[in-house]
Chain A
Amino acid sequence: MFIETMANATLLNPAGTRLAGDPDYALVARFQAGDDAAFDTLVGRHEEFIYNVCMGIVSSPEDAEDAMQETFLAAYRALKKFRGDSKVSTWLYRIAVRECLDISRRRKPASSLEEIIVEPSVDDGADGRATESLVRSSLAMLPEHYRTALILRYYGGLSYEEIASAMNSTAGRVKMMLHRARKAFQGVWPGDSADAPLASGGDSNEDV
């Protein structure tokens, strides 16, 4: 597998970048060589991740599913020309972010928490689930670029650079964005216990 990956990476990306180790690269190479089924594997490998990123940005399961499908459709169309300038996953996130922003731009912002449907997650006890859905609904109230940065960071575990790449931004701006996003989240999140008052202080909306 590793050898195959290396070989294809070299083939696709003669410049020889950090992509040599990207396991998706072999799939892309197979797809570009005419193996349509390689795309199916790619979908299977990334659907959960893409879906979760989309859920962070568009909030409703239907929209997230829609965005995920659009993402893979766009990826399918563009994959023939994919040149390996970034990791396949990063490239997919970039498409997903764009599709999500497209969808949420067509939406009116959710006006209340009740409108946001949160799919039950893995059963981790009533308490844990309630808190998680509260976090998700609070997230949904933030501006979309904050949501995007936060979900890529917290779900995806992406580095500042990777987030920047997915959001067409720079690491410096991502750093600032994450800071503001956390502050904003702090402002809408009711907190997880009694000692966390609803408004966490007069300066919670202060932009730095």
Chain B
Amino acid sequence: MRHSHPAATAMKTCDTFKTSFSAYIDQQLSLDDRAGVEEHIRTCPACARELSELQRAHEALLLLGNPLKPRPALAAVRARIRQDEERRRRARWLWLPAPVAGAALAGLLAFSFLRPGSLQPDGEVADSGLESGRTAVVAPSNTPAPVAVQPDSAAAAIPKAVAEIRRPAPAKRPAVRIAQSPVRPRARAVRFIAPAPVAAAPVLESPADLLPDAAATEVEQSVMVVASRPAVNYCAVAHDPVSGAQVSEVSVRRTYAADGSVRAHIVLHFPPPDDVENNDTENSIPNNRPGSRPVADPGNRV
């Protein structure tokens, strides 16, 4: 690629050289090609100008080499890992072979029906208030129930009998998990807060949806947020119903839709009950607390 005669093949030559300017700047040309470029720009002012402009852009781009200091990532990364593992752990039972999963689900639903007051005939959550101490973890109306989050194959694997049991459940608020709470619920309300750049930060006050199972150390809630600028960090704050203290760890994972809307998955992490040595919650938690009542059955958790 030695072009030293600009006269006849000037156009082709210049174009050819121009495409190699970038590699020239990066010192990625062979010695021959490099010499060819240098020879050419001595005789071709247009190419010389082009190269010097590219050089100037190159010099500006070198400023990208100045490192920006990130905040330490480890704590946040570890929180995401924990969250991810918990999500996977909870989803795992749905991946059991179809008959096993179906039987488990059927058993769970049947059990729920046996418990007075746990489900209304239509499958609605009967009572999830603080007074009774019953805890319901439900999917919010605008999100699919966790069951539906699984791939279709898993949903399709539910035997017909179970499907029939499920059918009466109203679409607006499908019950997913019913569990008796041996201790008081540990979150009263979750406020969902978006910082200043978002106009109209949404605030969630939906205790019923966020009451954790007594044994659960984590509960997740999805909310739809429409933000003018989706790139901001959101946070959520949860309060203890009795003491009013802030729940120690709240993480928010965001997913973005193509239309610019944001879905925030709020995950509350609860410390294990501090007054229980071995997590033997059924036996050791006094029943005279606000929002608690005697527990007959702790066994129907997923």
Q: Contact check, A155 vs B67: say whether CB atoms are below 8 A apart.
A: yes
Q: Which residues of B contact A51 (CB under 8 A)?
A: 68, 70, 73
> Does A81 have its Cβ within 8 Å of any Cβ on chain B?
no
CB distance from A38 to the nearest CB of B (A): 13
> Does B196 have its Cβ within 8 Å of any Cβ on chain A?
no
**Which of these, B56, B66, B70, B229, contacts A47 with CB under 8 Å?**
B70
Q: Contact check, B22 vs A178: say whether CB atoms are below 8 A apart.
A: yes
The count of chain A contact residues (Cβ–Cβ below 8 Å) is 60
> Does A136 have its Cβ within 8 Å of any Cβ on chain B?
yes
Q: Which residues of A contact B65 (CB under 8 A)?
A: 154-155, 157
* Cα–Cα, bound, A3→B222 (Å): 49
> Does A26 have its Cβ within 8 Å of any Cβ on chain B?
no
* Cα–Cα, bound, A180→B76 (Å): 37
Contacts A51-B68, A69-B80, A76-B81; A135 near B23 (Cβ below 8 A): no
Interface positions of A from 29 to 76, Cβ below 8 Å from B: 40, 43-44, 47-48, 51-52, 55-56, 60-66, 68-70, 72-73, 76
> Does A88 have its Cβ within 8 Å of any Cβ on chain B?
no
> Does B64 have its Cβ within 8 Å of any Cβ on chain A?
yes
* Cα–Cα, bound, A157→B66 (Å): 12
* Cα–Cα, bound, A125→B160 (Å): 71
Interface positions of B from 29 to 69, Cβ below 8 Å from A: 53-54, 56-58, 60-69
CB distance from B166 to the nearest CB of A (A): 32
Smallest CB gap from B88: residue in A: A77
Q: Which residues of A contact B229 (CB under 8 A)?
A: 115
Q: Which residues of A contact B18 (CB under 8 A)?
A: 208
Q: Contact check, A106 vs B257: say whether CB atoms are below 8 A apart.
A: yes
> Does B15 have its Cβ within 8 Å of any Cβ on chain A?
yes
* Cα–Cα, bound, A150→B62 (Å): 10
**Which of these, B61, B67, B74, contacts A185 with CB under 8 Å?**
B61
CB distance from B292 to the nearest CB of A (A): 37
* Cα–Cα, bound, A178→B232 (Å): 31
Known contacts A43-B77, A139-B61; can you find 7 more A-B pairs with CB under 8 A?
A66-B254, A72-B80, A107-B230, A121-B66, A175-B23, A182-B58, A208-B18
List 22 A-B pairs, Cβ < 8 Å. A47-B72, A61-B68, A72-B73, A73-B77, A76-B77, A107-B230, A108-B260, A121-B66, A135-B61, A154-B61, A154-B65, A155-B67, A160-B26, A160-B28, A182-B54, A182-B61, A185-B61, A186-B53, A186-B56, A196-B56, A200-B53, A208-B19
Q: Which residues of B contact A (CB under 8 A)?
A: 15, 18-19, 21-23, 25-26, 28, 53-54, 56-58, 60-74, 76-78, 80-81, 84, 229-233, 254, 256-258, 260
